[in-house]
Structure 1
Amino acid sequence: MTGSDLILSAKGMTKQFAGFMAVNNVDLDVRRGSIHALIGPNGAGKTTCFNLLTKFLQPTSGTISFNGRDITTLGASEIARLGMVRSFQISAVFPKLTVIENVRVALQRRRGTNFDFWRAQTVLGEFDAEAMRRVEEVGLEDFAHHTAQELSYGRKRALEIATTLALEPEMLLLDEPMAGMAQADVERISALIKSISAGRTILMVEHNLSVVADLSDTITVLARGQVLAEGGYETVSKDPRVIEAYIGVGHG
């Protein structure tokens, strides 16, 4: 893989907490335009790894680069401006605003406009057409004028994705997007992730192995803070070390 094929790359990424090695010398390359999953049993270090990559934590040692630029010392808001956005954490969903109003707020944020809710409707209306395009992109056009608090859990997740897409990320980082969902919502959000991946790169931490199998181009398996295996689902699911460390401990 050439440098231009990579959008995100970590080399020797390590995080130590008071003597405990949570992430130990991890190398990770995410290919541009791919859906890349980070999986592993509880305590494998995947959440810490994800927090390091999204700059919610700083590594003890190692380097992280995005689009060839060293982002090791940058913060989460700085990498968001570079085009790498962590959904469900950074996206703002206001329960009493409508779906389209929530997306409009995200558009204002991207363009550096103050959140002047009291400004004339004609001024704010300039964002409506683009906001509706984002709403349609995530399949919420029938709920555009419903408040966020009226939405089902799965549709709230879709709204969170819409507000994130309004920031026009080149790379989207999803932290357990299917957590706590009913099967119908899992299928809806899985289809949504697949549809929005066109022209974007997605890195996700996910427990649902059927989702990972269906969506991911590449899977990195972590165990005890280290990379255990990497490849497509067919490859990693048959790896004896993965079966022992992950599938063999009751995850399915």
Structure 2
Amino acid sequence: MVNSQPILSATGLSMEFRGFLAVKDVTLSVNEGTVHALIGPNGAGKTTVFNLLTKFLTPTRGRIMFRGADITRLKPAEVARLGLVRSFQISAVFPHLSVRDNLRVALQRPSNLATQFWRSSNVLSKVDDQAMSLIDAVGLSRYEHLPAVELSYGRKRALEIATTLALDPTVLLLDEPMAGMGHEDIGRISELIRRIAKQRTVLMVEHNLNVVADLCDRVTVLARGEILADGAYDVVSADPRVREAYMGTEHE
């Protein structure tokens, strides 16, 4: 259910690199219980904004709030512990481990088993139920014993998302989750994100506008480091400024 209250917000966010202002006074709100997309043409500043929100960069100016707390100066690991988790932070899949064992490893930290992994081969059995639940949630039950290296690209991305979910994030941040995928995999990952969003807030950078139109409750469009438009997809996609930014003309 969509909540009208912001769970993650930025006010006056700016980022300067050696005199170049890559992000200029960005103010946005991600409402709890929504799927929110950050889109824009190449060079729009999407990655920089995403890195600022996930704390891989510290803004030159501005403030970032998460669940009512100022996180502007926190480190990525600190905000991850608060429940703001970026997919690639923990999505390094071990190629020669099975799907199941990848999930068992990912579940070590939240289960306080990280320092016990090498002490006993039986320790990770404590997280088997959780691992199987996550595997089922991302549609990989048929592949639980398959080495990750043998998965298709789309299923490997599903496994990466599952390892992220092992931290039980409140807000899941996905950086171009459909990149490099074929039509079938895009459909599979879109449906996965839709299921995830029933219990979590999702913020995603995405280039596939068909995915954005189908999946997202709200869209923020960036151009040249500034917010060009913000709102429902059908509204922002009809904005002449957005069309011009993407197509180089105000006309289709």
Which TM-score applies when normalising by structure 1? 0.95
Query: Aligned partners of 1:139 and 1:4: how far apart in 2?
Result: 30
Which residue type is aligned with residue 212 of structure 1?
V
Q: State the partner residue of 1:118.
A: 118
Cα displacement (A) at 1:88: 2.7
1:240 matched to which residue of 2?
Answer: 240
Question: Partner of 2:169 in structure 1?
Answer: 169
Identity of aligned residues (%): 62
Distance in 2 of aligned mates of 1:115 and 1:172: 26
How far is the alpha carbon of 1:109 from its aligned partner?
Answer: 1.5
CA drift at 1:126: 1.0
1:209 aligned residue? 209
* 1:156 Cα deviation after fit: 0.4
What residue number does 1:225 align with?
225
The alignment of Structure 1 onto Structure 2 pairs a total of residues equal to: 248
**For residues 212 and 184 of structure 2, what CA distance do their matches in structure 1 show?**
16
Q: Which residue of structure 2 lines up, in the alignment, with residue 84 of structure 1?
A: 84
Is the contact between residue 93 and residue 148 of structure 2 (CA under 8 Å) also seen in structure 1?
A: yes
The amino acid that maps onto 1:62 is: G
Cα drift, residue 91 of structure 1:
2.1
State the Cα deviation string for residues 207-227 of structure 1 (Å, max 9, x = none).
000000000000000001000
Partner of 1:135: 135
> Which amino acid counterpart does residue 235 of structure 2 have in structure 1?
T
1:16–1:22 CA contact under 8 A, matched in 2: yes
The CA distance in 1 between the partners of 2:157 and 2:228, in whole Å, is: 31
Q: Structure 1: how far apart are the matches of 2:88 and 2:115?
A: 20
- Mapped to 2, the partners of 1:123 and 1:180 lie a distance apart of 37
SS in 1 for 2:95: coil
Instruction: State the distance in 2 between where 1:183 and 1:115 align.
Output: 41
What is the CA–CA distance in structure 1 between the aligned matches of 2:129 and 2:247, rounded to whole Å?
A: 46
Residue 149 (str. 1) matches residue 149 (str. 2): yes
Inter-partner Cα distance in structure 1 for 2:181 and 2:68: 36
Aligned residue in 2 for 1:106: 106
Greater shift after overlay, 114-123 or 236-245? 114-123
Residue aligning to 2:60: 60
Q: CA deviation at 1:116?
A: 4.1
Q: 1:112 deviation in Å?
A: 2.7
Gaps of 5+ in 1: none
Query: What is the CA-CA distance between 1:124 and the residue it aligns to?
Result: 1.7
Report the Cα offset of residue 199 of structure 1. 1.4
Residue segments in structure 2 that go unaligned for 5+ positions in a row: none
User: Deviation of residue 247 (structure 1)?
Assistant: 3.9
RMSD: 1.6
Shift in Å, 1:28: 0.7
What's the offset of the Cα at 1:182?
1.0
> C-alpha displacement at 1:121, in angstroms?
3.4
Partner of 2:193: 193
Deviation at 1:73, TM superposition (A): 0.2
Q: Partners in 2 of 1:115 and 1:95 — Cα distance? A: 22
Q: Is the contact made by 1:170 and 1:201 (CA closer than 8 Å) also made in structure 2?
A: yes
Query: Which deviates the most, 222-231 or 84-93?
Result: 84-93
Deviation at 1:97, TM superposition (A): 0.9
**In 1, are the aligned partners of 2:38 and 2:222 still within 8 Å (CA)?**
yes
- Write the distance in 2 (CA, Å) between the matches of 1:4 and 1:80: 23
